[in-house]
A and B are shown apart, each in its own frame.
Chain A
Amino acid sequence: MASTTHSATETHTGVKIPVLEREKLILSGRSYHWITERICGVLENRQPFLWWLLFIPSALIAMIGVGGGLTYLVSTGVGVWGMSNRVFWGFDITNFVFWIGIGHAGTLISAVLFLTRQNWRTSINRAAEAMTIFAVICAGIFPAFHVGRVWFAWFLAPVPNANAIWQNFKSPLLWDVFAVSTYFTISLIFWYLGMVPDLATIRDRCKPGIRKILYGIFSLGWRGGNRQWSHYEMAYLLLAALSTPLVLSVHSVVSFDFATSVVPGWHTTIFPPYFVAGAIFGGFAMVLTIMVPARFIYGLQDLITMKHIDNMAKIILLTGTIVGYAYLMELFVAFYSGAIYEMDAFKFRIAGPYWWAYAAMMSCNVLSPQVFWFKACRENLWVIMIVAMCVNVGMWFERFVIICTTLARMWLPGDWKTYSPSGVELMTFVGTIGLFLALFLMFLRFLPCINIAEVKWTLLESDPHHDELESHPDPGVVIVPAYQKELVSSK
């Protein structure tokens, strides 16, 4: 192939078409060794002071908020939360949907981008998957504990019993149980499987001792042999294929909780795609929220480059716009339905007692990502962080608007009543944020936060044929340098 290209170049006479140079995914010409050293260094070196500064409060908040809050809840009754006999769901389901949505970016990055051969995923997939696991853990707390009698929550499991009572397979809430637990299981296996070669690397670098034994156990005897790689890659591919539908299914099923009901404002066919888009939107914002600071703290700029951030910003722009479309379509359909109940549900969202939540949702989710149309904004990490935070807040408000505003204004004005959360409820929500952060910090501390093995594939050295070094096969093409700024690593 190389020889024909050379001859073609000489014979070409026409106008040369400029084509962007393929951007490098790893900058500064980093070597295999540097990558291994840098990533393993994150967990092998002493953690920076900042780690402790974040971890201790997070862990404390998690213990008090989640541990204490839930103990109080279970011992005393759901009444310690702010729900009423008008608004039966409040922060509990709002937070559940919020966290489960955040979990979506992980699967998308690890599975869908893997299948579509998007190599840039390798720098961020591990952290995004970890985030998924932790977000689903945070999410799972709410539906599990919001029930009135948590000690009977096992009724949700299809366990054969003497009463021969089965679950109600018509209930979206049951589908939810299955969808979320499947998602969690697959995500966990996928995450762990992808980590096995890296765990082996760490094991090999460890001094003999307890660490070596533990990493040894979890690396499942990985030796890096060809047969192992071949099996591994097949397994990884299959798992990726298995989890791809989950990206669509989980949040679709979560949205069925609302869409299959008869509640005006919930009973909407647009919900499944709109929820999925919103989940990816929120998930990517959370990846950015976490990875941008982590990249600075651990000096990973050469691995997580502006290219990655740029890509994620574009996805946020796309999904944010889809979400905005869905918001407007909801309004149109309510208007077009001619049903006073539907119309009023949206009027109350916009101008009712929770207008501020709707305004926060609209401005954070629809307006703020629009700045990503501009390249300058996608390159400015401050802007990116602000937008990502806006989206995190906006997506939480979206769930609040859908759940609480709707329930506060249903069919009969006689039962209208607004809802406000109790202190215990707030504490539990803050506790899950603490739990999420604490778990993520522990992940940084003990596990390789970037996929060492896979990220190396994107290096030039991994391509034995040096395809990238050759000039473009089409003689009518001239390669122009990418706009990407090369960030020089501090080390």
Chain B
Amino acid sequence: MSKRILHHPAVPIGETTVSWRSVGQLEDTADFRQWMDREFPQGAAVLASEDESETSRRSFLKLMGASTALAGFGMAACRRPEAYILPYTKAPEWVIPGNATYYASAMPRAHGATPLVVTTFEGRPTKLAPNGLHPDTEGTDAFAQASVLDLYSPSRSRGFLKSGKPVEKTKFEVVLATLATDSAARIGFLFGADDSPTRVRLIKELAAKYSAAKFYQYEALTGDSSSIALGDGVKLIADFSKADRIVSLDCDFAGVDSQGPVTPFFDRRKPEGKSYDSKADAASMNRLYSVEAAFTLTGGMADHRLRVSPSQVTAVAAQIARGLGVKAGVAIVSPELSDPKQVAWVNGLVDDLKENAGKSMVLAGSRQSLALHLLAHAINVELGNIGEGKPLLAVQTDTKGLGNLAALKADIDSKAVETLLVMTPSNPIFDAPADLQFKDSYEKLKTSIHLGMRTDATAQASTWHIPAAHYLESWSDARTARGTHTVVQPMILPLYNNCISEVELLLALLSNDGKLLNGEGEKGAASPAYAAVRSTLSTLGGEGETAWKKFLRDGFLEGSLYPLVSPAPRGDMSAPIIASPPTKDALEVIFSTDSSIFDGRWIDNGWLQEAPDPISKLTWDNVALVAPLTAKELGIYDQIIQLETQFASRSPDDEAQNRTSPMIQLVVNGQTLEIPILISFGQAENTLVIPLGYGQGFDENDELKRGPKNVDCVGLVGVNRGFDAYPLRTSTTAYFAAGATAKPTGKRYSVALTQEHNAMYGRALAREVSTQDDDEKGSFSAQLANVPKQGNDAHAPPNISLYLPENRAGKPLINDPIHQWGMSIDLSSCMGCNACLVACQSENNIPIVGKKQVAMGREMHWIRMDRYFAAQKDNSFDDGNPEMVPQPVACVQCESAPCETVCPVNATIHTEDGLNAMAYNRCIGTRYCANNCPYKARRFNYFDYNKRNPLITHNLYKGPFGVKQVGEAPHLQKNPNVTVRMRGVMEKCTYCVQRLQEAVIRQKRGQKQEALVAGKPSTEMTVNILTLRIPLDSVKTACQDACPAGAITFGNLLDEEKAVVVRSKRIDRNYDLLNYIGTRPRTSYLARVKNPNPKMPDSKFIGKATIHMV
């Protein structure tokens, strides 16, 4: 504030006034005039003096004070993020900054591509969603959801390597040019198991160009029994919509062993139909029988589950075959089941299959033996399940005539292959069966060229490593499970200039001069892969510009299915040798596919690493899983905490951050592995389950001091993670090995579990009913009616609120008449995979926090995937086989939210449309809301997880001295419509409010457009509730979108019966979690329905997880 200078009206000299203020004025002397100017003689020096325009003492002090104060604050608080914003000189088409554009693409995978719609912002792909237009759409699993992160991965390979050392691209181009001109080269190609029509076409061209070229296919964990049994490239595709009875013989078709689009299976787990529009009908449900060793996602869904070790599955299958009168040779000689309970179980199953001949399917796990596949096929043929219009279709894929890894090894050893191009997503040096000694042969190659996104063990062992382009960066095409020709189109040029796609590499070899063109191709033209994909489309019947445009827009070519065949199974199979059941001195080890990192390829994907294993709830590592009884026999049960004892005292191995697991020494196939061990419920006795893919590299920070070892083979995410079980496998025991011994070592290893208590402790949380009559609770319909009254809710008094839902005038307090959002989660179709969890992570910019923080219980997932085991005390059939019920818990958006009342600063408030909103900017982080949240659905940023790299040891604890950011590109994945939260802020599920708002705004804008189009003046526009309401079910949350099981429904509750979500909430199975508290949640759950066969010996123990709770 500057001092006011008073300006008196000037009085001309000599003028006399009628009135005067003082004698001085009357006299009007020069002195007086000067005095008047100064007005306040005391401050004269400051005011009108000459130096007023310059710095006076006072203003100097003022400025000094202010600048000192601001310097103090400015240093701390006024840091400005440095950013350079440049306009496009040539804008990519359709890009409007801030607006998302959506493109159809697909993720190529071994069991068939996953059709996707990719969300991009300013050219950055940020989020993947299933392509709803696609005939083979089946949601997206966690792997597909997380694959977008790989694009921006800090450990992504970005430069050429020669023998593990960085080199210039030009060096490799010379090699390639030589190779392209040498048509006599003894060249081999090793592909992955995915199927791409363009690649198939190029293989033919390569075979024509290179007379000695050989082609192979390899993926570590996709078994080949099926194609050996049925014929080269022949596979069975399951059409679950037609299957009333499904028998899974060690086949995790809902998880990591896909057999075809799985959504129809889940649709038939809902007794009211897919969209809840009919009355509950048990007959409309399918029935799943599962024979497996350890719980898989599929086994958890099973109506009847038989626990046997994998080697015994064939014996069970043979028993089934005999019961059905199948005449296959394998069935006759295989030993009879000895356990009368198992025999009774199989007999019940056989009767059910007979009754449902032609409407059933028997699925053999792709990792199982050839004998089992032959048996399963014989059973399916006997039942008439295969063929057009039947549940199973036999198709001929394009991946015909490709050699396997053993053939490749033989060819290398015999010098038939001297140059090898490795393009498989697997990592043969790391994951090939140990007895193959593949590495020794690999080193004999004259030139080995590896194309991959990671500098893994194979990249390091190769002569050349080429950084691969991500599938979101390259032109290609793929086949889905049923063979639909699907486009893989790039969203962005390769982030790093050197990255090359598989098609581009093959095209370079096919060109005359071997010139490697990638990304933008030559002189601004499209990549040569673009032309290749386009010409493939025209050969498959998509001629012309329109067809191409449609192909790009829809993402697929209509009617391009694999041809059906009638396979003739091999008849030369001699009787299988079925090993005797495992004992405690000869355990059976199961090498399982990991549900986080698959075969090890995603070890550097933080989202997947931090997603808890659906069964064991373990993150960031693998451990050996063992049944409780076996652990007791091995003498280590007491060392593994007894979490199930209701009021267990705190053991030395306590919960929370200090949780450790005892380690065992495992000897199998002559190899030794030390690995920690955890209890797994419902697992067959005397088996050990070890997920594969971990232990790829260690540095000096490793907990067990295993490093530095292979540290170049992994990035920051995957280093020091888990234990490598690949050396234990041989070609014949690739998936399970008998005769293992285990003994405790006395060492312990820290494990990060997201859930430490597996029982519901008598609380009816994840509710379950059975279609069969219960002795106490009555018929199916009676049980359904009783769902809202299970457990404590049976005798809890009704909730009477002191607060009325409307004000005195009768107007509802939550009063948006246009939209009221609601959700339901159907536990009957939810299998507990992590698709929603990872989808949420990618949509909502949820950071990963690292193993240590997960161990402390600080993971940030907005959806917590709870999984409960419920054992029946009197289960006389098999008391070691509990029910497994998953329950995803996110913020349930309570109408009467306990969190809202306790926040002192109004940072969490209720919106008019029924959301429990979180104002991050207002949050100061008292954490009171989270304590008062009965669902514990809130997540607190204990550190700057988004800004500081949680993967470097202790980095989070270094505060301002810590390293910032994970790699150089993770911010590119962030969804610009969602705030990136800083530390000290609470966050939680918002029902994807950014999507809801976008839909609402789009609806408003659409009306304006309509008026404009109609040419009407704005005054004639009518705007009312109905015109402002978004179209029925037109907005999806990220979790709902991703869910392959259709378990999540979401919509506007004001749409009434028309909306799926409203219908789902009106059926009997609907209940509110923790209804007792009276929070009136907007997310409700639908009880799981089990559909057991009453004739089975275990039927009365099925579907009873919560029904008898009081």
**Interface on A for B, CB 8 Å cutoff?**
72, 75-80, 82-89, 143, 146-150, 152-153, 155-156, 165-168, 170-174, 177, 257, 260-263, 338-341, 344, 347-348, 351-356, 407, 410-420
Residues of B within 8 Å of A338, CB to CB, are: 795
Considering only residues 830-856 of chain B, those with a C-beta below 8 Å from chain A are 853, 856
In the complex, the answer to whether B656 meets A420 with C-beta atoms within 8 Å is yes
Q: Which of A148, A170, A353 contacts B925 (CB 8 A)?
A: A148
Closest approach, in angstroms, between the C-beta of A272 and any C-beta of chain B?
17
Tell me the complex Cα distance, A82–B657, Å. Answer: 9
Tell me the complex Cα distance, A442–B960, Å. Answer: 35
In the complex, the answer to whether A262 meets B858 with C-beta atoms within 8 Å is no
The 5 A-B pairs at the shortest CB distance, nearest first, are namely A148-B925, A148-B984, A76-B959, A414-B866, A84-B857
Given contacts A85-B858, A88-B931, contact A77 B901 (CB under 8 A): no
In the complex, the answer to whether B924 meets A171 with C-beta atoms within 8 Å is no
In the complex, the answer to whether A355 meets B924 with C-beta atoms within 8 Å is no
20 example contacts (A-B, Cβ-Cβ < 8 A) are as follows A78-B925, A78-B983, A79-B943, A82-B657, A82-B856, A89-B931, A155-B905, A156-B924, A171-B904, A173-B902, A174-B904, A257-B928, A261-B932, A413-B761, A414-B757, A415-B755, A415-B936, A417-B857, A418-B650, A420-B657
Q: Which of B760, B934, B959 contacts A75 (CB 8 A)?
A: B959
Given contacts A78-B942, A167-B906, contact A262 B853 (CB under 8 A): no
Residues of B within 8 Å of A156, CB to CB, are: 904-905, 924
Residues of A within 8 Å of B866, CB to CB, are: 412, 414-415
Closest approach, in angstroms, between the C-beta of B1077 and any C-beta of chain A?
5
Closest approach, in angstroms, between the C-beta of A171 and any C-beta of chain B?
4
Residue of B nearest to A171 (CB): B904
In the complex, the answer to whether A149 meets B1074 with C-beta atoms within 8 Å is no
| B94 adjacent to chain A (CB < 8 Å) | no
Q: B973-993, CB under 8 A of A: which get 1 and which 0?
A: 000000000111110000000
Q: Which of A165, A355, A356, A407 contacts B906 (CB 8 A)?
A: A165
Given contacts A85-B859, A85-B936, contact A354 B650 (CB under 8 A): yes
Considering only residues 31-63 of chain B, those with a C-beta below 8 Å from chain A are none
In the complex, the answer to whether A78 meets B984 with C-beta atoms within 8 Å is yes
Q: B756-776, CB under 8 A of A: which get 1 and which 0?
A: 111111110100000000000
In the complex, the answer to whether A263 meets B931 with C-beta atoms within 8 Å is yes
Residues of A within 8 Å of B761, CB to CB, are: 344, 413
Residues of B within 8 Å of A80, CB to CB, are: 957
Residues of A within 8 Å of B650, CB to CB, are: 353-356, 418
| B135 adjacent to chain A (CB < 8 Å) | no
**Interface on B for A, CB 8 Å cutoff?**
646-650, 654-658, 755-763, 765, 791-792, 795-796, 853, 856-860, 864, 866-868, 887, 889, 898, 900-906, 922-928, 930-932, 934-936, 938-944, 956-960, 982-986, 1074, 1076-1077, 1079
Q: A76-B960, A85-B939 are in contact. List 11 more A-B contacts (CB 8 A).
A: A76-B943, A77-B956, A78-B942, A79-B853, A83-B927, A173-B902, A353-B648, A413-B760, A415-B864, A417-B655, A418-B655
In the complex, the answer to whether A147 meets B924 with C-beta atoms within 8 Å is yes
In the complex, the answer to whether A412 meets B925 with C-beta atoms within 8 Å is no
Residues of A within 8 Å of B906, CB to CB, are: 165-168
In the complex, the answer to whether B859 meets A419 with C-beta atoms within 8 Å is no
In the complex, the answer to whether B763 meets A414 with C-beta atoms within 8 Å is no
Residue of A nearest to B766 (CB): A414
Residues of A within 8 Å of B853, CB to CB, are: 79
In the complex, the answer to whether A155 meets B922 with C-beta atoms within 8 Å is yes
In the complex, the answer to whether B763 meets A341 with C-beta atoms within 8 Å is yes
In the complex, the answer to whether B795 meets A84 with C-beta atoms within 8 Å is no
Given contacts A85-B857, A416-B756, A419-B656, contact A177 B904 (CB under 8 A): yes
Tell me the complex Cα distance, A340–B926, Å. Answer: 29
Given contacts A147-B924, A167-B905, contact A412 B936 (CB under 8 A): yes
Q: Which of B791, B857, B859, B922 contacts A165 (CB 8 A)?
A: B922
Closest approach, in angstroms, between the C-beta of A258 and any C-beta of chain B?
9
Tell me the complex Cα distance, A245–B866, Å. Answer: 47
Residues of B within 8 Å of A344, CB to CB, are: 761
Closest approach, in angstroms, between the C-beta of A47 and any C-beta of chain B?
38
Tell me the complex Cα distance, A79–B928, Å. Answer: 16
Residues of A within 8 Å of B905, CB to CB, are: 155-156, 165, 167-168, 174
Residues of B within 8 Å of A260, CB to CB, are: 901-902
Tell me the complex Cα distance, A123–B756, Å. Answer: 55
Tell me the complex Cα distance, A406–B938, Å. Answer: 17
In the complex, the answer to whether B756 meets A417 with C-beta atoms within 8 Å is yes
Tell me the complex Cα distance, A410–B866, Å. Answer: 14
Tell me the complex Cα distance, A344–B757, Å. Answer: 14
Residues of B within 8 Å of A347, CB to CB, are: 646-647
In the complex, the answer to whether B1076 meets A146 with C-beta atoms within 8 Å is no
Closest approach, in angstroms, between the C-beta of B409 and any C-beta of chain A?
47
In the complex, the answer to whether B655 meets A148 with C-beta atoms within 8 Å is no
In the complex, the answer to whether B655 meets A173 with C-beta atoms within 8 Å is no
Residues of A within 8 Å of B657, CB to CB, are: 82, 420
Closest approach, in angstroms, between the C-beta of A77 and any C-beta of chain B?
4
Residue of A nearest to B956 (CB): A79
Tell me the complex Cα distance, A148–B646, Å. Answer: 34
Closest approach, in angstroms, between the C-beta of A426 and any C-beta of chain B?
15
Tell me the complex Cα distance, A76–B763, Å. Answer: 39
In the complex, the answer to whether B904 meets A148 with C-beta atoms within 8 Å is no
In the complex, the answer to whether B647 meets A414 with C-beta atoms within 8 Å is no
Residues of B within 8 Å of A414, CB to CB, are: 755, 757, 765, 864, 866-868, 887, 889
Residues of B within 8 Å of A261, CB to CB, are: 898, 902, 931-932
In the complex, the answer to whether A168 meets B901 with C-beta atoms within 8 Å is yes
In the complex, the answer to whether A171 meets B903 with C-beta atoms within 8 Å is yes
Q: Which of B765, B795, B867, B943 contacts A77 (CB 8 A)?
A: B943
Closest approach, in angstroms, between the C-beta of A472 and any C-beta of chain B?
57
Tell me the complex Cα distance, A411–B905, Å. Answer: 26
In the complex, the answer to whether B654 meets A418 with C-beta atoms within 8 Å is yes
Closest approach, in angstroms, between the C-beta of A145 and any C-beta of chain B?
11
Tell me the complex Cα distance, A89–B763, Å. Answer: 25
Closest approach, in angstroms, between the C-beta of A255 and any C-beta of chain B?
14
In the complex, the answer to whether A149 meets B647 with C-beta atoms within 8 Å is no
Tell me the complex Cα distance, A290–B368, Å. Answer: 75
Given contacts A78-B940, A413-B757, A418-B654, contact A147 B792 (CB under 8 A): no
Tell me the complex Cα distance, A351–B927, Å. Answer: 27
In the complex, the answer to whether B957 meets A76 with C-beta atoms within 8 Å is yes
Given contacts A171-B928, A415-B864, contact A77 B944 (CB under 8 A): yes
Closest approach, in angstroms, between the C-beta of B613 and any C-beta of chain A?
15
Tell me the complex Cα distance, A158–B758, Å. Answer: 45
Tell me the complex Cα distance, A165–B905, Å. Answer: 8
In the complex, the answer to whether B858 meets A76 with C-beta atoms within 8 Å is no
In the complex, the answer to whether B792 meets A148 with C-beta atoms within 8 Å is no
In the complex, the answer to whether B925 meets A147 with C-beta atoms within 8 Å is yes
Given contacts A75-B960, A88-B940, A339-B1076, contact A351 B647 (CB under 8 A): yes
Residue of A nearest to B901 (CB): A170
In the complex, the answer to whether B868 meets A340 with C-beta atoms within 8 Å is no
Tell me the complex Cα distance, A33–B932, Å. Answer: 59
Q: Which of B759, B924, B932 contacts A413 (CB 8 A)?
A: B759
Closest approach, in angstroms, between the C-beta of B899 and any C-beta of chain A?
10
Given contacts A77-B983, A86-B857, contact A262 B898 (CB under 8 A): yes
Residues of A within 8 Å of B982, CB to CB, are: 149
In the complex, the answer to whether A410 meets B934 with C-beta atoms within 8 Å is yes
Tell me the complex Cα distance, A351–B649, Å. Answer: 7
Closest approach, in angstroms, between the C-beta of A260 and any C-beta of chain B?
7
Q: Which of B656, B762, B943 contacts A418 (CB 8 A)?
A: B656
Tell me the complex Cα distance, A175–B867, Å. Answer: 39
Closest approach, in angstroms, between the C-beta of B389 and any C-beta of chain A?
43
In the complex, the answer to whether B792 meets A340 with C-beta atoms within 8 Å is yes
In the complex, the answer to whether B792 meets A167 with C-beta atoms within 8 Å is no
Closest approach, in angstroms, between the C-beta of B621 and any C-beta of chain A?
18
Residues of A within 8 Å of B983, CB to CB, are: 77-79, 148-149
Residue of B nearest to A81 (CB): B942
In the complex, the answer to whether B1077 meets A262 with C-beta atoms within 8 Å is yes
Tell me the complex Cα distance, A348–B761, Å. Answer: 12
In the complex, the answer to whether B757 meets A147 with C-beta atoms within 8 Å is no
